[in-house]
Chain A
Amino acid sequence: MTAVLYRIVKPVASLRLTVVLLAITAAVALAGETAGVAVGPVIAMPLGGMVLNLLAAIATNGKLRRQAGLLGFHLCLAALALLAALDRLTALEGHVEVSEGAAFDPALAQVQAGPWHWGRLADVRFVQGPFEISYAPGVKRRETFSTIRVPDADGQWHRVVVGDDKPLVAGSYRLYTSFNKGFAPILSFVDHSGRSHRGAVHLPSYPLNDFRQGNDWVLPGTDRTVKLWLSIGEPIVMPDASWRFHKPKGAVLVLIEGDKRRELAPGDSVTLGDGVLRYEELGSWMGYTISYNPFGPWMLAACLAGILFFAWHVFGKLWRRPVSAAASMGMQSHAV
Chain B
Amino acid sequence: MLSDGLWLPVSMALYFGAAVAAVVCIVRGNATMRPALWLLGLALVVHTIAIAERWIRVGHGPYVDLFEILSSNIWSLHLAALIGVILVPSVRQSLATALPVLQVLVWWIVVVPLSGAPAPVTYATVWLPVHAVLGKIFLGCMVLAVGVAVAVLLRRAGIARFAAMPADSGLGEIIYRLVLVAVIFESLMLVVGALWARDAWGRFWAWDPLETWAFATWLAAVGYLHLRALRPPPPTLDAVLVLAVFVIAFATFFGVPFISTAPHKGAV
Contacts and interface: CB of A to CB of B under 8 A. Distances in A.
Contact of A142 (B118, B164, B209): B118
Q: Which of B90, B183, B202, B216 has the most CB of A within 10 A?
A: B202
Q: Which of A33, A38, A329 has the most CB of B within 10 A?
A: A33
Interface stretch (A101-109, A115-123, A161-169, A230-238): A161-169
B204 A300 contact: yes
- B interface: dominant SS: helix
A278 to B, nearest CB: 37
B179 to A, nearest CB: 10
A300 B195 contact: yes
Contact of B118 (A40, A140, A318, A323): A140
Nearest to A27: B216
A128 interface: no
Contacts of A174: 198, 202
A19 B230 contact: yes
23 contacts: A15-B226, A15-B230, A19-B223, A29-B212, A29-B215, A30-B213, A32-B212, A33-B209, A33-B212, A164-B121, A165-B124, A165-B199, A300-B204, A307-B191, A314-B181, A323-B177, A327-B166, A328-B90, A329-B170, A330-B169, A332-B164, A335-B163, A336-B159
Interface of B: 87-88, 90-91, 117-118, 120-122, 124-125, 155-156, 158-160, 162-171, 173-174, 177, 180-181, 183-184, 187-188, 190-191, 194-195, 198-204, 207, 209, 212-213, 215-216, 219-220, 222-223, 226-227, 229-230, 248, 268
The 6 lowest CB-CB distance pairs between A and B, nearest first, are A330-B167, A39-B207, A329-B170, A22-B223, A141-B268, A26-B219
Interface of A: 15-16, 18-19, 22-23, 25-26, 29-30, 32-33, 38-40, 43, 93, 136, 138, 140-144, 163-165, 167, 174-176, 179, 289-291, 293, 296, 299-300, 303-304, 306-307, 310-311, 314, 317-318, 323-324, 326-336
